[in-house]
Amino acid sequence: MNNDALDRLRGMLLGEVVGPADPGYDAARGVYNAMIDKRPAVVARCRGTSDVIGAVRFAREEGLPIAVRGGGHSVAGHGTCDDGMVIDLSLMRGVHVDPVRRTARVQAGALLGDVDRETQVYGLAVPTGQMSETGIAGLTLNGGLGMLLHKYGLTCDNLLSADMVTVAGEVVTASEDSRPELFWALRGGGGNFGVVTSFEFRLHPVGPTMLAGFLAHPAEQAPQVLEFLRDFSATSPAHLSVDALFMRAPEADFVPSEFWGMPLVNLFVRYFGPMEEAWQTVQPLREFGAPLFDGLQPMSYVAVQSMLDAFSPAGNLHYWTSEFLPQLQEKEINAVAAIGADLPSSISIVNVHPFDTAATAVSPDATAFAHRQDSWLIHVIGQWEDTADTDRCRTWVKKAGAALQAFGLGNTYLNTTSEDERTDRVRAFWDGERLARLARVKAAYDPDNVLRFNHNIPPAGKESAR
């Protein structure tokens, strides 16, 4: 873009406008996943809704494609593009809590840690993901899985309304009572329909103190650990969340030094019920097998939500996949254990999440999020630091994904899936009828597919979906 155009945009926005010749350009264009290296024509760092309106209108006038970045945590790199405009919402991180109504209004650039810190002032929480540095916007629009899932459902299940700037530069509000079809689509349909600038969430009483930590077992005992987790999860209370994590033990304070670098399968335990019942409730987990170390301890909700941050910091190279498995029987357990025993780098991870209870009690047609079956989400996180390892690590992820698909339900969780030109995992998530409905909403709000840097849904005909 020429300097005159950039100066015109600067005059329109309260926020920052960064072009390729500006000193902060490389920092402004960077995203979480170092595999993604795009060079946008301009980055518009918006400070509010009026900036977003101005940026959208400017991009349309200039014929620029638009990518929208909230937290910048998209492993697929959807928050940036080549030769277009990045609408960067990272300066819009406000969180306003109404403790009486138990709701929170959250700007779209907020990270989960921002939300947690403000809601926990009142002992309340939004069900969100598992890393505090994740952006609330992308997480919500594609679903939102975390430790509160079993009791309170997905993040998108707790969305009450959303303010959105359309590609025409107009502000609309979506809720059950206002533009209900758009509201349906925003809960699982991703960033296809407009630039969401704020979310209103339902809050729940959680914290401020929980019982949480890791129970570590040798990786070779993974089949027994996964079998135990399967059976335990079938009857465990909804306020107890337990995942399995395959990893090499990090050099961290909570890990005894004699285990650093050792292949482990951890039970990641988070209890957020009545604290007087906490130790008794988790005792069966502590008594199973002979844990190498027991890291369970009382800690704040905010601290628990950031426990995994250090394992996947920004700046590493990432390639991910995931698969919903309908069950964990012997064949599935052996396949997952084999993947977890063959991590291609010291910082790669396999996460095994039970997906059930509140998340599956929601009607399949209530939201655009398509998966509402009791199942297990296997999240394969290929992560490395040296570009020389890229082909080997990415090949491992693809091989792991193919092995899981042999047992899977034919769909993935889009927030944990890298783009792959040879497969269409978007259509593996949405069935034909749901995809057609989403395409009609897309046509009503973005008929020219301006917002295509996402898990894209091509627009249908021009009929209204309002």
| Residue 227 belongs to domain with CATH number | 3.40.462.20
- For the chain, give the percent of residues with pLDDT over 90: 90
The predicted structure's pLDDT at residue 464: 47
Q: Is the dihedral of CA 252, 218, 150, 347 positive or negative?
A: positive
Residue 441 within a domain:
no
Q: Are residues 198 and 218 in the same domain?
A: no
Residue that finishes a domain, picked among 49, 69, 88: 88
Task: Give the domain range for residue 132.
Answer: 95-205
Q: Do residues 102 and 213 both lie within one domain? A: no
Q: What is the DSSP letter of 135?
A: B
Q: Do residue 218 and residue 361 come from a single domain?
A: yes
Residue 462 has pLDDT above 60, yes or no: no
Task: Tokens for 188, please give them.
Answer: 């699982």
Residue 300 in tokens: 């704040």
**DSSP character string of 76-116:** T-TT--SSSEEEE-TT---EEEETTTTEEEEETT-BHHHHH
CA 44 to chain CA centroid, Å, is 23
Q: What are phi and psi of 460, to 5 degrees?
A: -85, -155
Q: How many CB atoms lie within 10 A of CB 313?
A: 12
Q: Which CATH number goes with the domain that contains 51?
A: 3.30.43.10
Instruction: Note the pLDDT tens digit of each residue in 168-177.
Output: 999 999 999 9
Pair (53, 76) in one structural domain: yes
The SS3 of residue 271 is strand
Those residues with Cβ within 8 angstroms of residue 337's Cβ, 6 or more apart along the chain or in another chain: 222, 223, 226, 265
For 338-370, the pLDDT digits (tens) are 999 999 999 999 999 999 999 999 999 999 999
In 10 A of CB 438, how many CB atoms? Answer: 27
Dihedral sign computed on CA atoms, order 446, 449, 454, 455: positive
Is residue 190 located within the same domain as residue 235? no
CA distances 331 to 153, 221, 396, 404, 412, Å, are 29, 15, 20, 10, 19
Nearest Cα neighbor of 243 from 307, 321, 298, 292 is 307
Give the up-direction half-sphere exposure of residue 352: CA atoms within 13 A in the CB hemisphere.
29
What is the pLDDT averaged over residues 403-428? Answer: 82
For 7-66, how does the pLDDT look when each residue is reduced to its tens digit (9 = 90+)?
999 999 999 999 999 999 999 999 999 999 999 999 999 999 999 999 999 999 999 999
pTM of the model: 0.95
Quick one: which of 401, 373, 376 has its CA closest to 325?
376
Distance, in Å, from the CA atom of 233 to the CA atom of 419, rounded to the nearest integer, reads 32
Residues 234 and 368 in one domain: yes
Q: Which of 376, 392, 416 is the last residue of a domain?
A: 416
Asked whether the predicted pLDDT for residue 421 surpasses 70, the reply is no
- For the stretch 286-336, pLDDT in tens is 999 999 999 999 999 999 999 999 899 999 999 999 999 999 999 999 999
Residue 295: closest CA among 269, 318, 277: 269
Q: Which pLDDT band holds residue 466 (cuts at 50, 70, 90)?
A: very low
Backbone phi, then psi, for 364, in 5-degree steps?
-60, -25
User: What are phi and psi for residue 209, nearest 5 degrees?
Assistant: -110, 140
- DSSP E strands in 185-235: the ranges are 195-202, 204-205, 209-218
Residue 447 to residue 379: CA distance in whole angstroms: 33
Q: Is 265 strand, coil or helix? A: strand
Does one domain contain both 195 and 225?
no
Cα torsion through 237, 241, 247, 248, rounded to 10: -90
The conformation of residue 49, written as its DSSP 8-state character, comes to H
> Does residue 304 share a domain with residue 183?
no
Q: What is the pLDDT of residues 59-96, one digit of tens each?
A: 999 999 999 999 989 998 999 999 999 999 999 999 99
Helix, strand, coil fractions of the chain, as percent rounded to 5? 35, 25, 45
Do 50 and 167 belong together in one domain?
A: no
Average pLDDT, the chain: 94
Residue 337's nearest CA partner among 303, 378, 288 is 378
Tell me which of 465 and 93 has the higher pLDDT: 93
How is residue 364 written in tokens? 């399949």
The candidate with the shortest Cα–Cα distance to 120, out of 290, 355, 305, is: 305
What pLDDT, on a 0 to 100 scale, did the predictor assign at position 24? 94
Query: Alpha helices, DSSP H only, in 130-186?
Result: 136-141, 149-152, 180-186
Name the phi and psi angles at 86, rounded to 5.
Answer: -95, 115
